Each structure stands twice: as C-alpha cells, then as structure tokens.
Amino acid sequence: MQRTKNIVGTAFFLVVQNSPKVLALYRNEKMWTLFRIALGCFGAALVLLPIALWSGYFTALFGLMLFVVSILLPPAELESETDRKARELGAQTVVSGGEYEAGKEPARGVQLFVSPSHTWAMDKSFEPLVLMATAEIKSVRVEPTKDYWVLHVWWGRHKAEFVYKGIFAERFARLAEESLRAAHGAVTEQAERTRAARA
C-alpha cells in the first residue's frame, strides 16, 4: 500500500511540476477537496453502474482505479517549505537544478532559487551548495551526453555543472537555462535603464 502511495505521489508531483493549472488547483484547499470527492464519486459510479446494468468489468476496474487514486492523492498544500524559502530569499523563480557534485562529496539533488541579486543551488534541507551573483552570470549552456543532460553555468571566475537524469532531464535542464538567462537579462536591462536615467 505504501509503495502504491509513493508511486501515485511521484506521478502527481511530475504532473504538478509541468502544469500550472493543476498547481493552482492543488494550492486551493476548497477546490482540491471538491476535486478529490468528485473523482472518488465518479470512480465509485463507474464501479457500480456497469456491474448493475451490463457486463462492463473493464469500466468497473477503471472506476475502481479512479476511486483509489482519489483516496491516495495528497491533501491540499497551501504553502510549501520551498515557497517559504523562496520568499525568504526574495527568489522570483525556483527550478530543478538536477544533481550537483561539490568536490569529492557525493552528488546531491538541488533546486535553483533565482533572484535578481543572487542564485542559490540548495539541497533538500535548503543548505546552499552554490551561490552565484545573478548579474555576474556570463554564460549558460545545456549539453546532452550519452545518458544525461548537463547545465553549465559560468559567473565571474567560477563555473558550476548541474546534471539532469531521467525521462524529463532535457525539459528540466532547458527550463533552468531559460530561467537563468531571463533573470540575467532582466538584471542587465535594469542596470542599463539606471545608467540611462543618470546620463
């Protein structure tokens, strides 16, 4: 049962990460509760009606699956720890940073907290592993390898590499690349406007 719940939770996490509408629904406690109830009722109806009216056992199995999923879905989350940390840091964007390996230490999964001033690569316990000045980012590039994708970031005299693995590796790497480029571009544009105003 716990394994099934973990599988459903992982699948749900991937859907939420890639769908802003589902995320908005998940953050609305009332709407999320109604969605789970409706899903459970619809699943129960698909289980009972086909058996009572005709021999639709495949439909009944599908309904049973929907009913079980409605039970296993996590409760609504109004604000996550990641949201609180982003607000604390002033980060406007939080994206997956893949895995980061610092020296001889084992690789750790990180998230990139991108703000106009700094970009942090933090592990699951929100320990900062890399700190980059957003304005000093010189280059951002994503490269594919045989088994995974690598995001290269250069800032000042430093360089960091973030490794993305799995079926969504390219998507997450590209999203991180776009977020860093957008943040750096916004900072550069703001700096140019400030210089033009002073001139």
- d(C-alpha 87, C-alpha 40), whole Å: 35
Domain that holds residue 86: 81-198
Q: CB neighbours (10 Å) of residue 150?
A: 16
Q: What is the pLDDT of residue 195?
A: 75
Closest by Cα among 141, 152, 62 to 100: 152
For the chain, the domain total comes to 2
Q: What is the pLDDT of residue 147?
A: 85
Of 49, 72, 95, the domain-final residue: 72
When pLDDT is cut at 50, 70 and 90, the band that residue 188 belongs to is: confident
Q: What is the pLDDT of residue 3?
A: 57
- d(C-alpha 133, C-alpha 127), whole Å: 17
Q: Is the pTM of this model over 0.75?
A: no
pLDDT, tens digit, for every residue of 127-145? Answer: 999 999 998 999 999 999 8
| Tokens linked to 35 | 């969605």
Same domain for 183 and 150: yes
Of 72, 91, 114, the domain-final residue: 72
Q: Please state the rounded mean pLDDT for residues 28-47.
A: 73
Stronger pLDDT, 144 or 186, i.e. the higher one: 144
Closest by Cα among 188, 84, 98, 180 to 139: 180
Same domain for 111 and 44: no
What percent of the chain is modeled with pLDDT above 70?
Answer: 71
pLDDT, tens digit, for every residue of 94-115? Answer: 998 899 987 778 889 999 999 9
Q: Are strands 118-122 and 128-133 parallel, antiparallel or unpaired?
A: antiparallel
Closest by Cα among 125, 117, 160 to 140: 160
